[in-house]
């Protein structure tokens, strides 16, 4: 029997390798889809403005298709792996009984000895067989871990956590850039900077101007050490910045970019991200200096007003002024302004420019200018072209030269006359964000408020209607497979009866070889049904997952801007639904569901056989199942008790991660890496602690359920002996009853692997089905409505408007506008 064990091990290792590869490929394919979803959801207003929803839906669906095909392959690998495992296992039984028959026939071994050897190996191989489904899980984990460890093991060229480097005192802020050359790693054939040199004295304002792509913003990124230059150096007060401690350097510098990144929290917390120990008085002073105090105080909740996902609850000018206040609380010696007003309308630009002028006083300021009118008073203007410095001087000096700067100024004057912005963004202010729910009761209350209820298998099957044909084939295979071990128990008792023949009896050899071959037949049936079951259940699950992801994405694409203003509909939370919750639903329909049907049929057949051959023993042995059910119920209770709360905490951690990655440049500039990492870990800490306690209780319940069977064997053998002594049952009938129950009861072990995943699936499905039922106020993908010819005349008559998230603040009060064609 042991001669086939190496084949089983090799087979398991090979399938695990295939699984790991398939899982890794699947993760990469779905990562593409996830990237599309994230890109679209974080720019939803732009997508809506350009009617890009149908195109984005098509793009997302195409990416899902590629991931689905890889997932179906993985299901086939699982089926092949389990089929080979069971085929080898049953082949070893066939070989053992064939050879054992010959030994007994030749009187070289007693039948009892053959059975002892067989039982020893069989119990081990059955345990290995029960571990088979876990190999599939292990293979999936290995595939996922491969991608994770590539990130974990990667060593950064510029380490944000490094404690090395100087921390000089009393820096004045003199910046010296010498012969700076740089090429982006993603574009190695394009040199962006070609020997740039300039100086900025302490307190000076130096403006960098030039056409798009000339290298202005690249200099800002090099000053913040997002990259290291190829050649040349940057010095602050004569010290090269790569010799200065990175965290110290970035804390010494303030930055305001073209599109400021605000985090989905309050105005106060966003400013505190600038400096952790800032006082309330310093926050107020920074807001005043940034011309933000008045509009912040106009909000009912003041600085405790939530800015929304990516600051969407604020206008462009308001976001910029909050970002300026955030930079000012650091009291930086160097201030970097990277086209800080280029995305604003004329009115907002004027207010923000005043704030920037205030912020620049007494600091070395490097300005990347889009509108040249904003840098007329700069101490020094550096005109650049194609990565080189062309000319340097004040506004008056460069205008007199009539060179590059003069051309840029004249070109911008002409453009400003041809095109002016005529609309300003209105502020949208959300209510205070909900505090993180950390206890189960509050989470359940929140789910009830949202109308989300835990789903069940029947509702999941309703959404899987297109796969019913595949599911029927899979269920039929599971039913056939469920008959294998009841048949095994009967064949096994026949072998024992054959071994009762005396050595040399021809009937012993004939019957022994026949029943040995029957085990090989059982192995074939088990292998074929396992492949069919895993493939069709897996294919159904993958198709359902793709459809749910697509349905969620399509439904979200229909929504209007109001939907995305709500904190619970942030890009991070919707992405979590798509990337995590939808795949969790497929656990309710994958190959593990087949093990449940297998278990039901197997136990039903086993009980039927038991009652047929000896109802007295059957009554005793089936008493074990309620006790085993108690163990399973306990397991489900411990798994399900915190599932909703854990899902919420994981969602919050995903939201933090997504915000940090989306705004990684801001995170680096503000040296928030450790703070956001600690916040991420804090959201994971509670589920981690809960899972540790849950693992202990789960182990106790599993141990209880497993130990029940040993009490069954003890009581059944004892009672069977009593029945034989009292001539109530024949010895073979006693064994048939015992084996029919004990062998089929082992299927409970396979079925138990399904329930933890099923619980996760029902919670995830509840959240998803709730999202699918949401209807938009304005359907962005409807074909309904008139389609008149547009001539260009626009009229607004007595328009009143309030943002739904702030109904107490009127935005438009009877607005009348008329634009003639």
Q: Is the pLDDT of residue 127 over 80?
A: no
- Select the highest-mean-pLDDT range: 145-154, 167-176, 695-704: 167-176
How large a percentage of the chain has pLDDT more than 70?
A: 84
* Selected residue with higher pLDDT from 608 and 439: 608
Per-residue tokens: 694: 């849950």
Looking at the chain, the domain(s) classified CATH 3.40.50.300 span 196-386
Task: Look at the domain 196-386 and name its fold.
Answer: Rossmann fold (3.40.50)
Per-residue tokens: 228: 């290291």
pLDDT at 645: 53
Per-residue tokens: 591: 């190959």
* Selected residue with higher pLDDT from 219 and 648: 219
* Selected residue with higher pLDDT from 161 and 748: 161
Report the first-to-last Cα separation within the chain, whole angstroms.
90
User: What is the rounded average pLDDT of the residues 318-342?
Assistant: 83
* Selected residue with higher pLDDT from 213 and 437: 213
Q: Is the pLDDT of residue 126 over 70?
A: no
- Is the separation of the CB atoms in 219 and 208 below 8 Å? yes
- Select the highest-mean-pLDDT range: 476-480, 563-567, 576-580: 476-480
Give residue-wise pLDDT tens across range 624-633: 667 666 666 6
C-alpha 106/C-alpha 128 separation (Å) is: 32
Per-residue tokens: 766: 């509840």
Give residue-wise pLDDT tens across range 435-445: 323 323 333 43
Q: What is the distance, to the nearest Å, from the Cα of residue 206 to the centroid of all Cα atoms in its chain?
A: 44
Q: Is the pLDDT of residue 421 over 70?
A: no
Cα–Cα distance list, 556 to 48, 140, 327, 473, 817 (Å) = 11, 30, 35, 34, 32
Cα–Cα distance list, 335 to 195, 565, 669 (Å) = 23, 32, 12
- pTM of full prediction above 0.85: no
Looking at the chain, the domain(s) classified CATH 1.20.1560.10 span 590-752
CATH class of 590-752: mainly alpha
- Select the highest-mean-pLDDT range: 118-132, 255-269, 514-528, 773-787: 514-528
Per-residue tokens: 425: 């963004």
For the chain, the farthest-separated pair of C-alpha atoms sits apart, in whole angstroms, at 122
Q: Please, which pLDDT band fits residue 413 given cuts at 50, 70 and 90?
A: low
């Amino acid at each position: 029997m042991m001669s086939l064990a190496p084949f089983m091990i090799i087979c398991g290792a090979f399938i695990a390798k295939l699984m790991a590869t398939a899982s890794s490929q699947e993760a990469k394919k779905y990562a593409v889809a996830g990237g599309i979803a994230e890109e679209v959801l974080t720019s939803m207003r732009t997508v809506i403005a350009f009617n890009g929803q149908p195109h984005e839906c098509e793009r997302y669906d195409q990416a899902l298709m590629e991931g689905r095909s890889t997932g179906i392959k993985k299901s086939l690998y699982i089926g092949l792996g389990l089929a080979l495992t069971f085929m080898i296992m049953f082949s070893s039984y066939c070989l053992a009984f064939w050879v054992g028959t010959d030994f007994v026939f030749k009187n070289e071994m007693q039948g009892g000895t053959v059975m002892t050897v067989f039982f020893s190996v069989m119990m081990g191989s059955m345990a290995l067989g029960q571990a088979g489904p876990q190999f599939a899980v292990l293979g999936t984990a290995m595939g996922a871990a491969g991608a994770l460890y590539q990130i974990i093991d990667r060593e950064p060229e510029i380490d944000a956590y490094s404690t090395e480097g100087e921390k000089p005192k009393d820096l004045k802020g003199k910046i010296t850039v010498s012969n700076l050359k740089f090429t982006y790693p993603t574009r190695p054939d394009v040199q962006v900077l070609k020997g740039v040199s300039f100086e900025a004295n302490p307190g000076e304002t130096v403006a960098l101007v030039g056409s798009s792509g000339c290298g202005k913003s690249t200099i800002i990124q090099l000053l913040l050490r997002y990259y290291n230059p190829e050649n040349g150096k940057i010095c602050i007060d004569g010290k090269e910045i790569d010799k200065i401690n990175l965290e110290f350097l970035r804390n010494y510098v303030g930055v305001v970019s073209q599109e400021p990144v605000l985090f989905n929290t309050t105005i106060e917390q966003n400013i505190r991200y600038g400096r952790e120990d800032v006082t309330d008085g310093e926050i107020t002073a920074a807001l005043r200096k940034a011309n933000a105090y008045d509009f912040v105080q106009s909000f009912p909740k003041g600085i405790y007003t939530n800015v929304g996902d990516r600051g969407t609850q604020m206008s462009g000018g308001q976001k910029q002024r909050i970002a300026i206040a955030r930079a000012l609380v650091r009291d930086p010696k160097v201030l970097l302004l990277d086209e800080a007003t280029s995305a604003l309308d004329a009115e907002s630009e004027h207010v923000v420019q005043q704030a920037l002028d205030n912020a620049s006083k007494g600091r070395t300021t490097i300005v990347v200018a889009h509108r040249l009118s904003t840098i007329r008073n700069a101490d020094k203007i550096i005109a650049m072209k194609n990565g080189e410095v062309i000319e340097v001087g004040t506004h008056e000096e460069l205008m007199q030269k009539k060179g590059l700067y003069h051309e840029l100024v004249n070109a911008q004057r002409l453009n400003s006359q041809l095109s002016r912005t005529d609309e300003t963004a209105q502020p949208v202010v959300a209510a205070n964000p909900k505090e993180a729910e950390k206890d189960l009761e509050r989470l359940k209350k929140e789910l009830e408020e949202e109308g989300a209820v835990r789903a069940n298998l029947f509702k999941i099957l309703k959404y899987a209607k297109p796969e019913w044909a595949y599911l029927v084939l899979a269920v039929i295979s599971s039913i056939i497979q469920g008959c294998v071990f009841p048949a095994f128990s009967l064949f096994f008792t026949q072998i024992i009866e054959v071994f009762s023949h005396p050595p040399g009896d021809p009937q012993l050899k004939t019957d022994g070889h026949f029943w040995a071959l029957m085990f090989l037949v059982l192995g074939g049936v088990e292998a074929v049904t396992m492949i069919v079951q895993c493939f069709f259940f897996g294919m159904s699950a993958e198709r359902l997952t793709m459809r749910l992801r697509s349905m969620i994405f399509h439904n979200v694409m229909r929504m209007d801007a109001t939907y995305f203003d709500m904190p619970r509909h942030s890009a991070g939370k919707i992405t979590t639904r798509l990337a995590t919750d939808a795949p969790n639903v497929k656990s309710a329909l994958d190959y593990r569901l087949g093990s449940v049907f297998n278990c039901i049929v197997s136990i039903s057949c086993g009980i039927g056989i038991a009652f047929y051959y000896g109802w007295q023993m059957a009554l005793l042995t089936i008493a074990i199942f309620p006790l085993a059910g108690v163990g399973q119920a306990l397991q489900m209770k411990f798994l399900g008790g915190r599932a909703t709360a854990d899902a919420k905490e994981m969602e919050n951690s995903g939201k933090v991660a997504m915000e940090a990655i989306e705004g990684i440049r801001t995170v680096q500039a503000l040296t928030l890496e450790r703070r956001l990492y600690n916040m991420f870990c804090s959201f994971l800490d509670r589920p981690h602690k809960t899972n540790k306690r849950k693992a202990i209780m789960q182990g106790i319940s599993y141990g209880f359920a497993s130990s029940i069977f040993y009490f069954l064997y003890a009581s059944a053998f004892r009672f069977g002996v009593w029945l034989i002594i009292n001539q109530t049952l024949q010895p073979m009938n006693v064994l048939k009853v015992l084996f029919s129950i004990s062998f089929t009861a082992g299927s409970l072990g396979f079925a138990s692997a399904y329930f933890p995943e099923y619980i996760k699936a029902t919670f995830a499905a509840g959240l998803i089905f709730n999202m699918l039922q949401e209807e938009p106020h304005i359907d962005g993908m409807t074909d309904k409505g008139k389609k008149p010819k547009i001539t260009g005349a626009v009229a607004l008559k007595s328009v009143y408007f309030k943002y739904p998230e702030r109904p107490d603040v009127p935005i438009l009060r009877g607005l009348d506008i008329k634009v003639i064609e």
